[in-house]
Amino acid sequence: MSRTTIGIVLNGVTGRMGLRQHLIRSVLAIRETGGLPLADGSTLWPEPVLVGRSEAKLRAIADQHGLTDWTTDLPAALARSDVQIYFDAQVTSARDKALRMAIDAGKHVYTEKPVAETLENAVELARLADAAGIKHGVVQDKLYLPGLRKLARLVRGGFFGRVLSVRGEFGYWVFEGDWQSAQRPSWNYRTADGGGITLDMFPHWHYVLEQIFGPVRAVTALSTTHIDRRWDEDGQPYDATADDAAYGLFELDGGVVAQINSSWAVRVNRDELVEFQVDGTLGSAVAGLHHCRVQPRAATPKPVWNPDEPTTQRFRGQWQEVPDNEVFINGFRAQWEQFLRYVAEDGPYTGDLWAGARGVQVAELGLRSSREGRRLEIPELLR
């Protein structure tokens, strides 16, 4: 059967996400299994062009993975006629300029979130992309986590009856960097460099809520900086100016209330690094990265409040595991495959730059809600 090659500029490939999730676990993983099978029986073969700022790092990555096509010259890469897609996993603050260049060059664009640091820029990018007639997409990896896939399946199957509320806990302790090195890049903790947990995580929570439960209509948030001094990659102390915890309340269509805590200053006492509890009239579920457990109405115990006696009920044991019933591939790869099919054969796709802009909108309004100490409604974006 025939094979079509599709050239993809991968920018930011020396970073955590760009290298591990996008190059290795997605693009190279697709090549390792012979390319992407298309509906007409042909195969799509992704050909990466690695782009970054450091020749030495790019060469090392290329050598390690048997690749030869890399450059530090983004405009030159975008001028190539054998490149159809631009992908961006750079630091957030560098993204806007690069996406504009790619759209100008007529390339389809796929990008990490948040698409921009401000709503104004995010909307402008979406408009430019529409006007250029290119296809565009933004990473929505959390939707592809096995735990959340099973949760979405429960919603689709009507398990919950009427959904009442969603409670999310996300986070873990990110070391300050003095006596143990930090496990996340330091730019995340500086506002001037595009950092902050609200801008980082609210776009994720937005697409999770919107796509699994329904449109988000209002936000109330408290974003704060619990740890204000950290040590960077070179062991130098710096002022952590960005928020490292965000306590958010999201109001959805149908009266669903979602409350999600995000923090890099919390120690984990959960089964997974993110967990969502969903309560509905007919049943409840707790979903994490991999697992999803349920408690239907008919199996709901009847606890009675009695502070005088230690409880004898083992509440966690009263939930039942939802089986996988399918094979879940890496979420980033699953989304790459969907975007490639969208480009190559006009397959279905929902997470475009407008969806990305709505994520930035909820982050921006969340930060404003926190600053002003009030609840904010979320207006529809004008196209």
Contact range with ligand NAD by CB under 6 A, out of 15-23, 168-176, 228-236, 263-271: 15-23
- Token output for 302: 């009847």
How many residues are recorded in the chain?
A: 383
Runs of H (alpha helix) within 178-271:
197-212
Q: What is the DSSP letter of 3?
A: E
The full 3-state SS of 143-183, as one line of letters, equals HHCHHHHHHHHHHHCCCCCCEEEEEEEEECECCCCCCCCCC
Burial of 309: CB neighbours in 10 Å, binned 0-12, 13-18, 19+ = exposed
Restricting to residues 164-223, name those near ligand NAD by CB under 6 A: 185, 200
Our finding on whether 102 is near ligand NAD (CB under 6 A) is no
Instruction: Tell me how far apart the alpha carbons of residues 82 and 48 are, in angstroms, rounded to a whole number.
Output: 11
Furthest C-alpha separation in the chain? 75
Our finding on whether 53 is near ligand NAD (CB under 6 A) is yes
Q: Which of 7, 15, 147, 366 binds ligand NAD (CB under 6 A)?
A: 15
Nearer to ligand NAD, 36 or 201 (CB): 201
Our finding on whether 85 is near ligand NAD (CB under 6 A) is no
Q: Which of 89, 219, 258, 365 binds ligand NAD (CB under 6 A)?
A: 89
Instruction: Tell me how far apart the alpha carbons of residues 207 and 362 are, in angstroms, rounded to a whole number.
Output: 10
Q: Which of 8, 14, 144, 168 binds ligand NAD (CB under 6 A)?
A: 14
Closest CA to 177 of 124, 228, 217, 232: 232
Question: Nearest distance from residue 12's CB to ligand NAD, in Å?
Answer: 4
Our finding on whether 117 is near ligand NAD (CB under 6 A) is no
Q: Which of 99, 122, 139, 340 binds ligand NAD (CB under 6 A)?
A: 139
Number of chain positions touching ligand NAD (CB under 6 A): 19
Q: Which of 90, 198, 225, 335 binds ligand NAD (CB under 6 A)?
A: 90
Our finding on whether 97 is near ligand NAD (CB under 6 A) is no
Nearer to ligand NAD, 159 or 332 (CB): 332
Contact range with ligand NAD by CB under 6 A, out of 90-98, 126-134, 292-300, 338-346: 90-98
Our finding on whether 91 is near ligand NAD (CB under 6 A) is yes
- Token output for 95: 């993204």
Our finding on whether 16 is near ligand NAD (CB under 6 A) is yes
Closest CA to 331 of 114, 20, 45: 20
Our finding on whether 334 is near ligand NAD (CB under 6 A) is no
Q: Which residue has the tokens 């409880």?
A: 311
Instruction: Tell me how far apart the alpha carbons of residues 62 and 343 are, in angstroms, rounded to a whole number.
Output: 25
Tell me the pairing of strands 229-231 and 136-138: unpaired
Our finding on whether 17 is near ligand NAD (CB under 6 A) is yes
Question: Nearest distance from residue 93's CB to ligand NAD, in Å?
Answer: 7
Nearer to ligand NAD, 38 or 119 (CB): 119
Our finding on whether 262 is near ligand NAD (CB under 6 A) is no
Tell me how crowded residue 356 is: count the other CB atoms within 10 A of its CB: 28
Helix axes 119-132, 95-104, angle to 10 degrees: 10
Closest CA to 264 of 212, 309, 306, 226: 226
Our finding on whether 331 is near ligand NAD (CB under 6 A) is no
Nearer to ligand NAD, 92 or 220 (CB): 92
Helix axes 146-156, 197-212, angle to 10 degrees: 40
Contact range with ligand NAD by CB under 6 A, out of 12-20, 228-236, 333-341, 365-373: 12-20
Which are the contacts of 236, defined by CB distance < 8 A and separation ≥ 6? none
Contact range with ligand NAD by CB under 6 A, out of 39-47, 83-91, 155-163, 235-243: 83-91
Question: Nearest distance from residue 33's CB to ligand NAD, in Å?
Answer: 22
Residues that bind ligand NAD (CB under 6 A): 12, 14-18, 52-53, 89-92, 94, 112-113, 139, 141, 185, 200
